[in-house]
Amino acid sequence: MSHQYNFAYLDEQSKKMIRRTMLKAIAIPGFQVPFGGREMPLPYGWGTGGIQLTAAILGKEDTLKVIDQGSDDTVNAISIKKFFKTTADIEVTESTENATIIQTRHRIPETPLKKGQIMVFQVPIPEPLQFIEPRRRETAKMHAYQEYGAMYVKLYEDIATYGRIATAFDYPVQVNQRYIMSPSPIPKYDNPKLNQSPAIHFFGAGREKRIYAVPPFTDVKSLDFEDYSFELESWNEPCSICGSTTSFLDEIITDDEGTRLFICSDTEYCQKRSQGGE
Amino acid sequence: MLQGFQSETNDSQSVFRKLLTAMASPGSIEKIDLDIDCPGNLHSASGGILLTLLDFETPFWTDLDDSSKEIQWIQFHTSTPVKNSATNSLFALCTHYDELEDPNLFNPGTLSSPDLSTTLLIQTRGIDNNGKIRLTGPGIQTEAYLRLKGIKEVFLKRRARMVENYPQGIDMIFICENRFVCVPRTTILEVF
Whether A1 shows a pLDDT value over 70: the answer reads: no
Per the prediction, chain B carries an average pLDDT of 96
Whether A21 shows a pLDDT value over 50: the answer reads: yes
Same domain, A166 and A277: no
Single-letter amino acid, residue A216: P
Same domain, A125 and A200: yes
Same domain, A249 and A184: no
Same domain, A26 and A128: yes
Are A49 and A37 in contact by the 8 Å Cβ rule? The answer is yes
* pLDDT of res. A118: 98
Same domain, A20 and A143: yes
CATH superfamily of this structure's domain B8-191: Bacterial phosphonate metabolism protein PhnH (3.40.50.11310)
Predicted TM-score of the model (pTM): 0.96
Q: Is residue A179 part of a domain?
A: yes
Q: Is residue A204 part of a domain?
A: yes
Same domain, A164 and A112: yes
A59 vs B19: CB contact, 8 Å cut-off?
no
End residue of a domain, out of A199, A222, A245: A222
- Of A114, A117, A124, the residue nearest A210 (C-alpha): A124
Whether A2 shows a pLDDT value over 50: the answer reads: no
What confidence category does residue A277 fall into, taking pLDDT thresholds of 50, 70 and 90?
low
For residue range B145-161, list pLDDT tens digits in order: 999 999 999 999 999 99
Provide the ipTM.
0.98
- Measured between beta carbons, the chain A residues lying within 8 angstroms of B112 are 140-141, 143-144
End-to-end CA distance of chain B: 44
How many domains, chain A?
2
Q: Closest residue of B to A33, CA-based?
A: B115
Q: Is residue A3 part of a domain?
A: no
For residue range B97-130, list pLDDT tens digits in order: 989 999 999 999 999 999 999 999 999 999 999 9
* pLDDT of res. A276: 78
- Measured between beta carbons, the chain B residues lying within 8 angstroms of A198 are 141
**What residue numbers bound the domain in which A203 lies?**
12-222
Q: Any residues with CB less than 8 A from the CB of A178 and at least 6 apart, and which?
A: A29, A30, A146, B166, B167
Whether A255 shows a pLDDT value over 90: the answer reads: yes
B184 vs A27: CB contact, 8 Å cut-off?
yes
Domain boundaries, chain B: 8-191
* pLDDT of res. B192: 85
Q: Any residues with CB less than 8 A from the CB of B89 and at least 6 apart, and which?
A: B59, B60, B61, B83, B106, B107, B118
* pLDDT of res. A19: 98
Q: Is residue A59 part of a domain?
A: yes
* pLDDT of res. A3: 56
Region A249-259 average pLDDT? 93
Please return the burial class of B145, using the count of CB atoms within 10 Å of its CB with bins 0-12, 13-18 and 19+.
middle
Region B26-33 average pLDDT? 97
